[in-house]
Amino acid sequence: MDTEGPTRAVRPKRIGLAVAALLLSVNIWTGAPLFAVWVGSKAAGDSGISMGALFLVVVVLAVSVFALAEALAWVSATDDRMSGRPSAARRTSPWLRSMRGEREETARSRYGISPVERAVVVSVVAAVVVFELWLMFFAGSPLPKG
């Protein structure tokens, strides 16, 4: 009997889920704001900025970030189901857990960090590093010259 069969068949799907998580989390930081500004610029037209266009940017940004976060949660839950990881132990808030109950570290040591969680952490760290590099080297000084 081949015990590697199901594991071998699930691995490409889990890699695909990790790639999807990386793309979704990067788009939360980049794609959603760019899309919201683009929609606002189309709504404003040639007349310039208006309160309606600004409100539309905020609404589109909120809706798109919420949709991307929901998609990311679905990808994470799907990966949890494929790996056999219990999702309830990972999502219990610290202040809701019993002092005598299972600790987060126990669940982490038993199941490890999922590829989806790794993808999200990598995208957030990359976003912070890129922002810091831009701020230090390319942003320029806001102080007037002279």
10-45: pLDDT as tens digits: 788 888 888 999 999 999 989 999 999 999 999 888
> Could you tell me the pLDDT band of residue 97, with boundaries at 50, 70 and 90?
low
Please report whether residue 99 resides in a domain.
no
Please report whether residue 98 resides in a domain.
no
Reported pTM: 0.72
**Distance separating alpha carbons of residues 127 and 134, to the nearest angstrom:** 11
Please report whether residue 72 resides in a domain.
yes
Question: What is the tens place of the pLDDT at every residue in 39-71?
Answer: 999 988 888 788 989 999 999 999 999 999 999
For residue 110, the one-letter residue type is R
Please report whether residue 71 resides in a domain.
yes
**Distance separating alpha carbons of residues 134 and 126, to the nearest angstrom:** 12
Please report whether residue 51 resides in a domain.
yes
Please report whether residue 35 resides in a domain.
yes
- When divided into structural domains, the chain yields a total of 1
| pLDDT for residue 102 is more than 90 | no
Please report whether residue 65 resides in a domain.
yes
According to the model, what pLDDT value does residue 88 have?
A: 55
51: domain range?
13-84+105-138
Please report whether residue 100 resides in a domain.
no
